[in-house]
Amino acid sequence: MSGPDLSGSIVLVTGGTGSFGHAFVRHVLDHHQPAAVRIFSRDELKQWEKQRRFGDDPRLRFLIGDVRDGDRLRRAFDGVDVVVHAAALKHVPVCEYNPFEAVQTNVIGAENVVSAAIDAAVPRTIALSTDKAVNPVNLYGATKLCAEKIVAQGNAYSGGSVARFASVRYGNVVGSRGSVVPLFLEQAKSGSVTITDESMTRFWITLDQSVRFVLDCLGRMEGGETFVPKIPSARILDIADAVAPGAERRLIGIRPGEKLHEVLLTADEARHTAEFDTYYAIYPSFPSWRSTPYPAGKEVPAGTTYSSDANAQWLDAEGIRALIETDASG
């Protein structure tokens, strides 16, 4: 069993019909004994499809709503013990073309989640972030950086309430909607795949690993942390070899708002970060709500960065295939 004891708890997942939400709900129902799991999302078709996939589990509750709607969130959060905030607009080109909408969902939505959790005295709320929030070069990353800050400082707003807030920040999820793996699989049918830059690298994590990491962090969070897992990197060419062996490679150039390499921990953040065996905990630089120190962990040397091109862990084509197969079987 991963993470805290959720026996008898009411768990709510915003964006609960997405890739992560589905895997998280499945894991919690199978391995924990929650009193109820509330799936909060705005797409009734996806909710209907999810109901059919999960059957008639009496612990499931399906709530139509949008994180932009604070009143609806406050109603949904009533009596909740744990919130996992996974709702977001996450496709880079979509956010670039619709900037106001990205801000409304990713930034104002995060503020609404924090406010509703404080009003409902939800003890633990954890938000999903992304490596693109680090030194952002596109609007999606910028909105997720804002969301991280809003979630961390929610602990200052909660005052004497039991409500506490933290974030998790990790890399690309194997097989999630919009990732390069399903793109390459689809392109491989035509005999060729598109490569933006041959030197590109990315962090990789499976859906199951991301679910377990979120649960672990729910158990260890004290409020204000941004948790970063230690995960492997992969080169884009190795991903192409793993997913579409023998396919022609067409170089198309790096796209607007895209990086060659991703970063999960910056040198500036290293000054207030603790290292543990399997993760980093980035602590807020000014935790005004705390009178005691955070867990010490191992001191991170000054100037340390954690980037996909300078990682200690690497996946070759065989390792990528194994990761994909493991994720599919999970």
Catalytically annotated residues = 132
Assigned token pair, 274: 């603790």
| DSSP classification of residue 303 | T
92 in Cβ contact with 259 (< 8 Å): no
Across 21-35, b (16+ Cβ under 10 Å) vs e yields bbbbbbbbbeebebe
- DSSP secondary structure string, 216-239? HHHHH--SS-EEEE---EEEHHHH
Count of beta carbons in the 10 Å neighbourhood of residue 255: 11
The DSSP letter of residue 4 is S
CA dist., res. 280 & res. 229, Å (int): 6
Instruction: Give whole-number Cα distances, 143 to 13, 92, 107, 131, 296, in Å.
Output: 20, 11, 6, 12, 30
Cα distance between residue 127 and residue 85, in whole Å = 5
Contacts with 52 (C-beta within 8 Å, 6 or more apart), sequence order: none
Closest Cα partner for 149 from 195, 106, 178?
106
Query: What six digits make up the tokens of 231?
Result: 């995960």
Structure tokens at 308: 């996909």
